[in-house]
């Protein structure tokens, strides 16, 4: 199994699996009136069975933010999400390579995101929203595009 990782403040992993497929496209939590707050060990899991890629995001509050604050699925086109993800991944990877300039606890590992691979809408949607969440939460601006929802 080939593994690729992206570490946020806690952990965000992208796994490229050559033999294992996952049937789960669901997160592990549901939004209720009482859950609109930061939840420890908040986990979002996304899988694309066709290209055998999976993203696991473990970040306090991200799952709740994704369900309650982010634009709904279908709001953006896949080509828009892919274009932004390429920009964000490029900026992220540049920061990983400059630990003397950028906080190495925020930018721990590079992301292997290839523009030539169709990761599918769900993977691109959640990766894009993680970048928005990360930038807003940690007051970072990865590109010249101001992150907003």
DSSP 40-51: TT-EEEEEETTT
Residue 149 inside a domain? The answer is no
Output the CA torsion sign for 100, 137, 55, 48.
Answer: negative
Residue with tokens 């292997």: 112
Does residue 41 have a pLDDT over 70?
A: no
Residue 144 inside a domain? The answer is no
Does residue 83 have a pLDDT over 60?
A: yes
Residue 142 inside a domain? The answer is no
Residue 80 inside a domain? The answer is yes
Residue 103 inside a domain? The answer is yes
Q: CA 112, CA 140: separation in Å to the nearest integer?
A: 21
Instruction: Pick the range with the lowest mean pLDDT from 34-38, 40-44, 53-57, 136-140.
Output: 34-38
- CA nearest 107: which of 116, 115, 98? 98
Residue 102 inside a domain? The answer is yes
Count each helix (H run) and each strand (E run) in the chain, helices first.
3, 4
Q: Which domain holds residue 129?
A: 2-137
Per DSSP (E only), the strands in the chain are 2-6, 11-16, 43-48, 53-58
Q: CA 92, CA 5: separation in Å to the nearest integer?
A: 12
Residue 15 bridge partners (DSSP): 3, 54
Residue 47 bridge partners (DSSP): 54
Does residue 37 have a pLDDT over 70?
A: no
State the pairing for strand pair 43-48/2-6. unpaired
* pTM for the full predicted model: 0.71
CA 86 vs. chain centroid, Å, equals 12
Give the residue-averaged pLDDT of 43-52. Answer: 68
Number of folded domains that form the chain: 1
| Candidate ranges 11-15, 37-41, 125-129; pick with highest mean pLDDT | 125-129
Residue 32 inside a domain? The answer is yes
Does residue 31 have a pLDDT over 50?
A: no
Instruction: Pick the range with the lowest mean pLDDT from 21-30, 56-65, 103-112, 113-122.
Output: 21-30
Residue 146 inside a domain? The answer is no
Instruction: Pick the range with the lowest mean pLDDT from 16-20, 76-80, 145-149.
Output: 16-20
């Amino acid at each position: 199994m080939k593994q690729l990782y992206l570490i946020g403040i806690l952990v965000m992993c992208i796994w490229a699996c050559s033999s294992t497929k996952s049937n789960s496209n669901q997160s592990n939590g549901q939004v209720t009136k009482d859950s609109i707050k930061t939840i420890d060990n908040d986990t979002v899991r996304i899988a694309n069975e066709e290209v055998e890629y999976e993203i696991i995001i473990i970040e306090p509050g991200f799952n709740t933010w994704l369900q309650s604050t982010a634009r709904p699925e279908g709001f953006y086109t896949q080509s828009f999400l892919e274009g932004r993800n390429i920009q964000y991944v490029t900026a992220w990877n540049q920061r990983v390579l400059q630990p003397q300039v950028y906080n190495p606890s925020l930018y721990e590992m590079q992301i292997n995101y290839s523009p030539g691979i169709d990761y599918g809408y769900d993977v691109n949607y959640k990766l894009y929203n993680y970048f928005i969440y990360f930038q807003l939460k940690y007051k970072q601006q990865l590109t010249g595009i101001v992150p907003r929802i």
